[in-house]
Structure 1
Amino acid sequence: MKNFNITKTEILSDNWYVLKKITYEYQEKNGTVQTQSREAYDRGNGATILLYNKDSQTVILTRQFRIPTYVNGNDDGMMIEACAGLLDQDNPEDCIRRETEEETGYKIRDVKKVFEAYMSPGSVTEILYFFVAEYSKEMKVSDGGGLEEEAENIEVLEYQFSDALKMIKTGEIKDAKTIMLLQYLKIEGILD
């Protein structure tokens, strides 16, 4: 036996995405086998991007309502975030190009994948692919805001990079993927 063996999988919900209860046997280092159960939420994989402009020292972010943050005490449920979306059947680069245009209105040329990460591996299956790309005013092809049929109601925001970094400290930006991308730009000196 490998160190674990799935013995049972139950679907608890498939209303929006899929929530499964997985029972498995896990062999400890001393050889003892334990039976454990955990829930895993499968929403598919995603991609996120931070657009930046070297000349103006700005970044493009979005703001939208997120019900989980509201029920967890975020006053109005509004979150400032980097553009992101689910892969659906696309590869990560095609996905992020599509999402960037839908959400921000920018048709970007060159994207750079910088890393990938599990955001909540204790309960969510999603792996997120992180990208950065340079933008300019000439790349703006629409107002953005997301697709009407998805009722995203996304507000497109442009911030000075230095202000966006300060917003992490003040708590105005609490989204992990956004914090990671802003810190990536800072660590790599991309806007220095």
Structure 2
Amino acid sequence: MTAGVDTPDRRGRTGLDRAGRDLTGNPRIKVRDVKLLSCHWYVERTTTFDFQHADGTWSTQERETHDRGNGATMLLYDADRQTVLLTRQFRYPVYVNGHPDGMLIETPGGLLDEEDEHPEVAVRREVVEETGHTIGAIWHVFDVYMSPGSVTERVSFYAASYGPSTRTHEGGGLDEEGEDIEIVELPFRRALEMIRTGEIADAKTIMLLQWAALEGPFSGPSSAGGGEA
């Protein structure tokens, strides 16, 4: 008996070795086997599949995938004051991979609580928890696979305006999840400069800041950061 396969894992999941076995969208891919490697919290699998090359020949290939669920993130902006609201928190994976102190400046966001949770619901919750702002109208920007070579996660990107009237909670993250999040307000022009200097090195944050300069709230000719992404 294997946890996550025929008995529940710590999150109550079974059948985790079935992922991908029923896919039919690409006739050049035939899944042969899926092995569950780990389901401690996220899910690691090795999948063996047959792949038909452009010349018609077939080869058998193997890939490992890391499934942490899907996520959502949001750029909070004040177009009148020309500012953005970001967060700073410790990220061990970047710390162990060369970041000086592991303290990463990011747009707020997080994982969907459940597989069927709508990303907008998730991102609104995360924004309140991390920044203390309850936002109104929301702008869906795009959906992106952040590391498609090995990670299944799809991240939904959003933007919304913030201001004194949207501040409804303390923010800073959830104590029960061990979060210790600093709220960082920056002039938009300064945030763009921090991409160039490496002070902002988080992919989702860079993508949203550059979108804001090229197409979003700071894209007009009179905007402080317009055209500089």
TM-score band, normalised by the shorter chain?
over 0.9
Which residue identity lines up with residue 208 of structure 2 in the other structure?
Answer: L
SS of equivalent to 1:143: coil
Which residue identity lines up with residue 99 of structure 1 in the other structure?
Answer: E
Residue 119 of structure 2 aligns with which residue? 92
SS of equivalent to 2:127: helix
SS of equivalent to 1:11: strand
**Could you state the TM-score of these two structures normalised by the residue count of structure 1?**
0.97
Distance in 1, Cα, partners of 2:92 & 2:61:
30
Is 1:24 the equivalent of 2:54?
Answer: no
**Could you state the TM-score of these two structures normalised by the residue count of structure 2?**
0.82
Q: Which has the larger radius of gyration?
A: 2
Residue 189 of structure 2 aligns with which residue? 162
- Structure scoring higher RCO (CA < 8 A, sep ≥ 6) equals 1
Distance in 1, Cα, partners of 2:79 & 2:143:
24
Which residue identity lines up with residue 158 of structure 1 in the other structure?
Answer: E
Which residue identity lines up with residue 184 of structure 1 in the other structure?
Answer: W
Distance in 2, Cα, partners of 1:60 & 1:18:
32
Residue 115 of structure 1 aligns with which residue? 142
Residue 103 of structure 1 aligns with which residue? 130
Q: 1:189 deviation in Å? A: 5.1
| Structure-to-structure mapping, 1:17-96, within 5 angstroms | 17-89=42-114, 90-96=117-123
Residue 156 of structure 2 aligns with which residue? 129
Identify, as 1 or 2, the structure richer in strand.
1
Distance in 1, Cα, partners of 2:159 & 2:71:
15
Where does the alignment leave 5 or more consecutive residues of structure 2 unmatched? Answer: 1-25, 224-229
Where does the alignment leave 5 or more consecutive residues of structure 1 unmatched? Answer: none
Distance in 2, Cα, partners of 1:189 & 1:44:
28
Distance in 2, Cα, partners of 1:6 & 1:84:
33
Residue 175 of structure 1 aligns with which residue? 202
The CA RMSD measured in Å over matched residues stands at 1.1
Q: Percent identity?
A: 53
Q: How many residues align?
A: 192
> Kindly tell me: are residues 133 and 189 of structure 1, through their superposed partners in 2, closer, same or farther at Cα, counting changes over 3 Å?
closer
Greater shift after overlay, 113-122 or 84-93?
84-93
The runs of at least 4 aligned residues of structure 1 exceeding 4 Å deviation read none
Residue 171 of structure 2 aligns with which residue? 144
**Which string of whole-angstrom CA distances, capped at 9 and with x for unpartnered residues, describes residues 38-96 of structure 1?**
11100111100000001211100001111110110111111100011111232011111
